[in-house]
Amino acid sequence: MVLHRAVAARALACLDLTDLSDACDAAAVEALCTRAATRHGPVAAVCLWPRFVAQARGILGPNSAIRIATVVNFPSGDGTIAGTEAEARAAVAAGADEVDVVIPYRALMAGNGGAVDATVAAVRAACPTALIKTILESGVLADDGLIAEASRRAIAAGADMLKTSTGKVAVNATPEAVATMLRAIREAGRPIGLKAAGGIGTTAVAGRYLALADDAMGPSWAKPATFRFGASGLLDDLLAVLDGRPTGRPATGY
């Protein structure tokens, strides 16, 4: 039980508490920001649609330990480079600290890897002070070689973190995809983080991903600066473990 609580505490500190549901509204944003400051400490970030960034900044304040993340080119990855760049720039101007950008993964699958390079580089240039997480949509890429290529291209174009998934497709984070992404991170030659997102709803599942990171990168690597969970339902299970209450809620996506 002590070990289980230690895992929950690690995961809580690395959590991007997320509401990217179609039903998200101002009341939901206020509730999410309130929940993010838990009795066991703050989560790493809240992750919201761009239209709610300014509201979240107003609730959390300018110097909050809880960061504000948003998404661009989301969820399809099919937006124009100019549109994605403008969306990212506007989000940071509204108060976002972190930008999760979906790469044009369908273009990559069709053989146009340069589209990934150009999209990530444009967002990086538009938002030089923001943390840039690149969403690979690994469950759709599926192939280990494509996931590895997407990882290498995103890193080369300026990404700060690799993220598995939007949480909006049938297959989201998997241990196999995360292992491939961790290999690319290990070979990057500069510090790169990882965000596992979609389908992570229990402390036990979160613990498996932390163990993968520990094995690949060392036991002190997975911390908020380098490792995140993207989830909407994980927080309840983590708090139950930390409180010593019964758990076992099934995993969900966003």
Q: Active-site positions?
A: 100, 163, 195
The class level of CATH for 2-243 reads alpha beta
Helices and strands, counts by H and E, the chain: 11, 10
Q: How far is CA 187 from CA 144, 178, 204, in A?
A: 16, 14, 28
75 upstream amide cis, omega within 30 of 0: yes
Q: Are strands 37-38 and 41-42 parallel, antiparallel or unpaired?
A: antiparallel
Residue 88, H or E segment: helix 81-94
Residuewise pLDDT in 10s, the chain (254 residues): 676 999 999 999 999 999 999 999 999 999 999 999 999 999 999 999 999 999 999 999 999 999 999 999 999 999 999 999 999 999 999 999 999 999 999 999 999 999 999 999 999 999 999 999 999 999 999 999 999 999 999 999 999 999 999 999 999 999 999 999 999 999 999 999 999 999 999 999 999 999 999 999 999 999 999 999 999 999 999 999 999 998 865 544 45
DSSP code of residue 41 = E
The answer to whether the CB of 253 falls within 8 A of the CB of 35 is no
Q: Read off the tokens for 186.
A: 């290990």
pTM of the model: 0.95
The answer to whether the CB of 15 falls within 8 A of the CB of 228 is yes
Query: 48 - beta bridge partners?
Result: 19, 70
| Among candidate residues 95, 31, 32, 87, the one with its CA nearest the CA of residue 68 | 95
175 upstream amide cis, omega within 30 of 0: no
The answer to whether the CB of 201 falls within 8 A of the CB of 170 is no
Q: How far is CA 243 from CA 27, 211, 223, in A?
A: 27, 22, 22
